């Protein structure tokens, strides 16, 4: 069946086989049993709406018989249709009787077949009309040389007065050899700054606190840290001399602890050995 | 000949004077835009280029009338507007193009059935043609770009439904599928009904989703049977 | 609007009736051929498609007249004919796309020097910047419209002098070039070091002609040397 369907024939080729003589030879030229039935119906040369289904069934069965005699291989759906038509024919000949439950009467079945043939016929006519329409670029044409829409770039500049003056000042300064001297600032925390900071923090230092815990946040890494430790220590020593803080170190190179010197000598030292960090 | 030219000029002058309410300047603009475009333009596209408040439908109507009997006509295809050479001059311009692999009879019939019956499933196409459809037929039509998968039928198995594309309408010079040749007669005869002549429920070939059709979701798992594929859910 | 359409139809009918000697069918053919052609057509190309004896020059003349005041005109370029959008409607086919840019470093530096030192010659700009200037830099600034040639220096070779334009003032929000900030203002605003390099001075730019500057005469012959070109005098 699918072989038949895949057999792409165009209208011209199909028209050739509609010749009675050719019917027997060209069974493959039909697009299935419905197509064959429609061709046979057309040969009756009456309105398909009024076609005699009995006569049509006879013609179809006759066709199948001759094909069998010629040993033509028939697709299964042709044989299914033949069996169905033989059944329909027998029921049409017999006096009208209701079939088994819900089965349509023979007349109803004939009407349905007639309608399907009409519909296929109508759709084919519609296809012919559709394909006969004037087609774009074959029969009718659009503008052969359409004019493209030009995209114009509206260029605006973002440069501002600031850019202009920066450019001028740097350019002029550069040309006049005038890289003005700006000393490179070494990453050093001034002792004054460290001391000021410590003095501000004194009230907030509750008990012995590790010196390294008192470094400014932004001075905690690398060379900056070393400078901050040194300056803070020097600031602490200065302040210890003035009696403002007390310092304690458990071992050489061990962590140095600081506390508020105003707490008075009566407060015992309570640095637990355990909290002493390793060197 | 120059007398003709003068006569034409007079006509043009006349047109300019009398059609002030049609805004001849707007008419020129629509004309220029449609002439220049390589693709059909819709009313929205035109309105973005025209001054605000321009009566686009009126202008198009006027332009259509102006060009009605000319060598070039204004056509409405797929709801858009395009100038095309007059169809009776096809003989002058016809180009023998190597038509895309001349369509087979099966493909032509299938295309027509899809056009007139859309939304339509493969099973319905097969019912009308009385023959099983080969995979290639749908593929060819999809490849040309004339048909597309447009939804799914709300029936067991949720089969996909096919319909025609805008390219189809443009190619065949159709304003919409409601303008297919002979569609009214086919409808009146009941041939566009899905079910034999019981009489009710006459479906129009319609680009709108059918009452028992869901929009197509390419991610929806294919279900030949009713079973749910839990892996993909 | 439909009244307009009717009026137009009447015109069309009129045209058809009266122009029998112009052969309206031939007119339609030429119209369609020119519309569908992918390139301009000459009379010879048209005559091969038209029936024998068609009056091609007359038809073209008539068609030109028909389209004279329309949104599309029939144009003749190098003896070939084509439809083109009416030139006054070219704006319809233009889409403007804003694009923001920045000047190159060299260009903004040059611009700033021209602004401060105007009237200034190319050699002077190069002297201030200490680098030779590429031709492109001046061209870009001229193209944007921020600088102009304003005169010539009364020195050997009479080099042209550059200055800024009104567009420049608008772009940078200046009332006049005299309002460009001086050294102190540049310092205060942090553009310059507190102690500028020795020899840093900012001239007082002026739009008035300099003491050794002549107004620019575009017809003055270019003289790289001081010799007079007798041939052109």
Residues B127 and B204 placed together within one structural domain of the fold: yes
B1-32 confidence digits (pLDDT tens) = 455 555 555 555 545 444 445 788 999 999 99
Pairing of strands C147-153, C213-215: antiparallel
Residues C115 and C59 placed together within one structural domain of the fold: no
Q: Do B82 and A4 touch (CB under 8 A)?
A: no
Residues B118 and B211 placed together within one structural domain of the fold: yes
Q: Is C55 helix (H, G, I), strand (E, B) or coil?
A: coil
Residue C175 within a domain: yes
Task: Output the average pLDDT for chain B.
Answer: 81
Q: Which of C89, C118, C142 is the last residue of a domain?
A: C89
Residues C164 and C204 placed together within one structural domain of the fold: yes
Residues C125 and C185 placed together within one structural domain of the fold: yes
Place of tokens 């506390």: A259
Q: Do A156 and C103 touch (CB under 8 A)?
A: no
Residue C4 within a domain: no
Residue C230 within a domain: no
Q: Is C153 helix (H, G, I), strand (E, B) or coil?
A: strand
Residue B121 within a domain: yes
Task: List, in order, residues 6 or more apart from A157 with CB less than 8 Å away.
Answer: C100, C101, C102, C103, C144, C171
* Range C103-126 average pLDDT: 89
How far apart, in whole angstroms, are the C-alpha atoms of residue C134 and residue C47? 56
- Contacts by B198-207, CB closer than 8 A, 24 or more apart: B203/B117, B204/B178, B205/B115, B205/B116, B205/B117, B205/B118, B205/B177, B205/B178, B205/B180, B206/B118, B206/B119, B206/B177, B206/B178, B207/B118, B207/B150, B207/B163, B207/B176, B207/B177
> What pLDDT was estimated at residue B21?
57
> What pLDDT was estimated at residue C221?
67
Total structural domains in chain B?
A: 2
Residues C83 and C179 placed together within one structural domain of the fold: no
Quickly count: other Cβ atoms within 10 Å of residue A116's Cβ. 17
Q: Residue C147: enclosing H or E segment and its boundaries? A: strand C147-153
CA atoms within 13 A on the CB side of A47: 2
> What pLDDT was estimated at residue B135?
81
Place of tokens 């009713």: B226
Q: Do C36 and A141 touch (CB under 8 A)?
A: yes
Task: Tell whether A15 lies on the interface with B, counting CB pairs under 8 A.
Answer: no
**DSSP-assigned states of every residue in A5-22:** HH----HHHHHHHTSHHH
Range of the domain at B23: 9-89
DSSP letter (8 states) at residue B40: -
Residues B60 and B127 placed together within one structural domain of the fold: no
Question: Does residue B73 surpass a pLDDT of 90?
Answer: yes
Residues C45 and C130 placed together within one structural domain of the fold: no
Nearest CA in chain C to A161: C172
* Range B106-128 average pLDDT: 93
Chain C residues lying within 8 Å of B27, measured CB to CB = 71
Residue B111 within a domain: yes
Residue B24 within a domain: yes
* Shortest CA gap C119–chain B (Å): 46
Query: Are the C-beta atoms of C53 and C26 separated by less than 8 Å?
Result: no
Q: Which of C29, C62, C89 is the last residue of a domain?
A: C89
Residues B168 and B192 placed together within one structural domain of the fold: yes
At residue B201 the predicted structure's pLDDT band, cuts being 50, 70 and 90, is very low
Residue C94 within a domain: no
B40-50 confidence digits (pLDDT tens) = 999 998 998 89
Q: Do C97 and A147 touch (CB under 8 A)?
A: no
Residues C126 and C204 placed together within one structural domain of the fold: yes
Q: Do C72 and B32 touch (CB under 8 A)?
A: yes
Residues C73 and C45 placed together within one structural domain of the fold: yes
Residues B62 and B30 placed together within one structural domain of the fold: yes
The answer to whether the pTM exceeds 0.90 is no
C9-40 confidence digits (pLDDT tens) = 555 554 544 444 578 899 999 999 999 998 89
Q: Name which of C13, C12, C15 is nearest C23 in CA terms.
A: C15
Chain A residues lying within 8 Å of B106, measured CB to CB = 5, 8, 31
Q: Which of C37, C65, C89 is the last residue of a domain?
A: C89
B28-72 confidence digits (pLDDT tens) = 999 999 999 888 999 998 998 899 889 999 999 999 999 999 999
User: Residue C35, preceding bond cis, omega within 30 degrees?
Assistant: no
We report the CATH number of the domain holding residue B68 as 1.10.10.10
The pLDDT tens digits along chain A (279 residues) read 333 333 333 333 333 344 444 444 456 678 888 998 998 898 888 888 888 899 999 999 988 888 888 777 778 888 889 999 999 898 888 876 665 666 778 888 888 899 999 999 999 999 999 998 888 888 888 888 888 777 767 788 888 888 888 888 887 777 665 444 444 566 778 888 888 888 888 777 768 888 888 887 777 777 778 888 888 888 888 888 888 888 888 888 888 888 887 765 544 555 544 444 443
Residue B42 within a domain: yes
CA atoms within 13 A on the CB side of B13: 6
ipTM score for this prediction:
0.59
B144-194 confidence digits (pLDDT tens) = 999 999 999 888 888 999 999 999 999 999 999 999 999 999 999 889 876
Instruction: Name subunits touching A (3+ CB pairs < 8 A).
Output: B, C
């Amino acid at each position: 069946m699918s072989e038949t369907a895949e057999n792409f024939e165009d209208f011209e080729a199909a028209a050739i086989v509609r010749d009675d003589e050719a019917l027997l030879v060209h069974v493959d030229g039909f697009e299935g049993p419905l197509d064959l039935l429609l061709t046979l119906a057309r040969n009756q040369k009456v309105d398909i709406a009024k076609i005699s289904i009995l006569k049509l069934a006879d013609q179809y069965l006759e066709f199948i018989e001759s094909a069998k005699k010629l040993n033509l291989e028939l697709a299964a759906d042709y044989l299914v249709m033949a069996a169905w038509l033989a059944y329909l024919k027998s029921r049409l000949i017999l006096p009208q009787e209701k079939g088994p439950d819900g089965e349509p009467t023979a007349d109803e079945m004939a009407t349905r077949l007639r309608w399907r043939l009409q519909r296929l016929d109508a759709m084919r006519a519609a296809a012919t009309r559709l394909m006969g329409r004037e087609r774009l670029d074959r029969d009718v044409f659009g503008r052969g040389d359409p004019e493209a829409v030009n995209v114009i770039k509206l260029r605006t500049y973002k440069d501002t007065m600031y850019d202009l003056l920066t450019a001028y000042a740097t350019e002029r300064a550069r040309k006049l050899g005038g890289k003005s001297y700006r000393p490179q600032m070494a990453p050093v925390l001034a002792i004054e700054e460290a001391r000021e900071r410590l003095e501000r923090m004194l009230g907030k230092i509750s008990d012995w606190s590790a010196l390294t815990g008192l470094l400014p946040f932004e001075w905690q890494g690398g060379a900056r840290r070393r400078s901050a430790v040194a300056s803070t220590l020097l600031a602490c020593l200065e302040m210890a001399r003035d009696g403002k803080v007390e310092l304690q170190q458990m071992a050489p190179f061990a962590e140095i602890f600081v506390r508020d010197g105003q707490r008075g000598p009566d407060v015992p030292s309570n640095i637990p050995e355990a909290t002493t960090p390793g060197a | 000949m120059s007398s003709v030219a003068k006569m034409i000029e007079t006509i043009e002058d006349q047109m300019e004077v009398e059609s002030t309410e049609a805004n001849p300047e707007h008419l020129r603009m629509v004309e220029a835009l449609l002439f220049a475009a390589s693709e059909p333009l819709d009313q929205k596209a035109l309105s973005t280029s025209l001054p605000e408040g321009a009566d686009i439908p009126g202008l198009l109507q006027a332009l259509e009338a102006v060009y009605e009997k000319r060598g070039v006509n204004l056509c409405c295809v797929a709801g858009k507007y395009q100038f095309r050479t007059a169809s009776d001059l096809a003989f002058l311009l016809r180009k023998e193009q190597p038509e895309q692999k001349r369509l087979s009879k099966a493909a032509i019939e299938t295309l027509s059935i899809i056009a007139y019956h859309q939304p339509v499933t493969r099973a319905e196409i097969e019912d009308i043609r009385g023959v099983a459809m080969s995979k290639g037929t749908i593929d060819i039509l999809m490849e040309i770009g004339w048909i597309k998968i447009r939804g799914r039928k709300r029936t067991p198995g949720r089969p996909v439904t096919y319909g025609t594309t805008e390219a189809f309408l443009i190619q065949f010079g159709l304003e919409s599928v409601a303008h297919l040749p002979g569609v009214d007669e086919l409808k009146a005869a009941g041939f566009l009904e899905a079910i034999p002549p019981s009489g009710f429920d006459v479906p129009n070939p319609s680009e709108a989703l059918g009452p028992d059709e869901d929009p197509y979701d390419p991610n929806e798992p294919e279900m030949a049977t009713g079973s749910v594929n839990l892996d993909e859910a």
